[in-house]
Amino acid sequence: MSGIDKSRRTFLKGSAAALAALPLSTLLHHGSVRAESRAEDGHAHDYVNDAADASDHARFEEGQLCENCVFWGEGVENGWGRCTHPDFDDVLVRAEGWCSVYAPAS
């Protein structure tokens, strides 16, 4: 094996190890992997998992739910789904949840 082949192999091994060592948060931040954790109350914009808990919020109106919000993305399972608002891109939100940036889908 030539010296160049050996150094190339060493370089490739080092690169693979460096990629494997990238923190998950880096991959999440760049959108390569989407988080599946569920939002907790207060995640952002006064978010609550149960819209009824927002009934005393100044912006809340009856019938407003994540599932009929313009930011509601695809459902995932068990009443949870994706929100396309950038402040929720790292969590799933509940279909029956609500937050103060709610906007009607139509």
User: Residues interacting with ligand SF4, by CB under 6 A?
Assistant: 47, 66, 69, 71-72, 83, 85, 88, 93, 97-99, 101-102
Q: Which is nearer to ligand SF4, 15 or 78 (CB)?
A: 78
Cβ 58 to ligand SF4, closest distance in Å?
15
Q: Which is nearer to ligand SF4, 28 or 64 (CB)?
A: 64
Structural tokens at position 94:
């509940």
Cβ 31 to ligand SF4, closest distance in Å?
17
Phi, psi of 60 (to 5 degrees): -80, 135
- Within the chain, strands assigned E span 72-77, 80-83, 92-94
Q: Which is nearer to ligand SF4, 2 or 37 (CB)?
A: 37
Q: Are 95 and 75 in contact (CB under 8 A)?
A: yes
| Contacts of residue 10, Cβ cutoff 8 Å, sequence gap at least 6 | none
